[in-house]
Amino acid sequence: MKKFIRYKFFSKNHGSSKGIYKSLNCGLKSFDNKKNVKQNLNLAKRFLFKKDKNLIIPDQYHSNKCLVAKANNPYPKCDALVTSDNSLILGITCRLSTNYFYDQKIM
């Protein structure tokens, strides 16, 4: 990948979640405490970026729906996202794992 594209796979370590969710759980649909999940999402964002960015994570439901990510809709109902807005981070969750993609140089 080009050097201006950032991505990260996070492990379960270093999260705020407790008990059976003890991890960096970023799954908003889990039964984990929502406060812990939001803290985990913020931890992940801060790990990658010094400045605050808008994180967009799709509310996935196994469809063929792809949307253009927008800052005013942080949890769109779709299974894929695209954007040309470099103020956005696109996140994809898989079970309890979240993957982030960010391109600081949009052409």
> What is the tens place of the pLDDT at every residue in 14-26?
899 999 999 988 8
| Torsion (CA) 67, 68, 72, 73 in degrees, nearest 10 | 20
Sheet-wide strand order for 88-94:
5-9, 97-103, 88-94, 54-56
Band the pLDDT of 55: cuts 50, 70, 90: confident
Given a cut of 70, whether residue 13 has pLDDT beyond it is yes
* Structure tokens belonging to residue 56: 């967009």
Place of tokens 């960096």: 24
CATH number among 3.60.140.10, 3.30.300.20, 2.40.30.10, 3.40.50.10140, domain 5-103: 3.60.140.10
pLDDT at 80: 87
